[in-house]
């Protein structure tokens, strides 16, 4: 057992206190974001996106706030491209070569989607239970449930094919971006 004394103990206590303060500040900021996400401006999109497994209220708010309006993107692939989740391409003549994701988009949204996509490596395709008090139309809930089932199957297929876990996750994140666009547009009332 190591015993710290004198200045070493003081430094450790300082860092422990700083970490506790940072955690407290983080919780306070999260409460403010959740309150903002519940306002009339954001509630429909946040509640709809929160129906997707791997997306909580904070992530849903980040996606909605960064997009501003999902309907400003003409299609799901256009949204995925804006996120920087489309494969890069190096082509010449008849030769086509696809590379990793471009990362030439919104870093905050891309990070949120990549982190959310990791959820599909271990979750079940069962629908996510609705949040208490959420008022999401049945058609949107149904699409969110289809999204969850589809992404679980997609991740399982990529793993079974022996794909690298990070590459499989990026592929799932790209498809998740397309689902987020559709569900976001439905929540805005601009799509079916």
Which of 130, 128, 146, 131 shows the shortest CA–CA distance to 182? 146
Q: How big is the CA angle at 145 (ends 143 and 132), to the nearest 5 degrees?
A: 105
Q: What is the pLDDT of residues 32-76, one digit of tens each?
A: 999 999 999 999 999 999 999 999 999 999 999 999 999 999 999
* In the chain, domain spans: 1-37, 42-188
How would residue 77 be classed by pLDDT, with cut points 50, 70 and 90? very high
pTM of this prediction? 0.87
Q: At what angle do helices 165-188 and 107-117 cross, to 10 degrees?
A: 110
Percent of the chain predicted with pLDDT > 90? 82
Would you state the pLDDT for residue 100?
80
Give yes or no for residue 97 having a pLDDT over 80.
Answer: no
**Average pLDDT for residues 138-146, to the nearest whole number?**
96
Would you state the pLDDT for residue 2?
81
Dig out the tokens for 189 from the structure: 């009332």
Q: What is the pLDDT of residues 111-137, one digit of tens each?
A: 999 999 999 999 999 999 888 888 999
**Rounded to an integer, what distance in angstroms lies between the CA atom of residue 165 and that of residue 15?**
35
């Amino acid at each position: 057992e190591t015993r710290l004394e004198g200045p070493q103990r003081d430094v450790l206590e300082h860092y422990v206190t700083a970490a506790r303060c940072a955690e407290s500040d983080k919780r306070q900021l999260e409460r403010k974001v959740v309150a903002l996400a519940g306002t009339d401006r954001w509630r429909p999109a946040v509640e709809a996106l929160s129906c997707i497994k791997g997306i909580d209220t904070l992530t849903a708010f980040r996606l909605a706030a960064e997009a501003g309006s999902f309907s400003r993107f003409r299609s799901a692939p256009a949204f995925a491209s804006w996120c920087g989740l489309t494969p890069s391409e190096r082509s010449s003549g008849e030769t086509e070569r696809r590379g990793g994701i471009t990362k030439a988009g919104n870093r905050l949204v891309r990070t949120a989607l990549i982190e959310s996509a990791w959820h599909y490596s271990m979750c079940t395709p069962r629908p996510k239970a609705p949040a208490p008090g959420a008022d999401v139309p049945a058609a949107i809930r149904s699409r969110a449930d289809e999204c969850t089932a589809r992404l679980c199957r997609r991740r399982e297929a990529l793993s079974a094919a022996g794909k690298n876990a990070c590459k499989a996750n990026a592929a799932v994140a790209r498809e998740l971006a397309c689902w987020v666009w559709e569900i976001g547009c439905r929540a805005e009332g601009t799509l079916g």
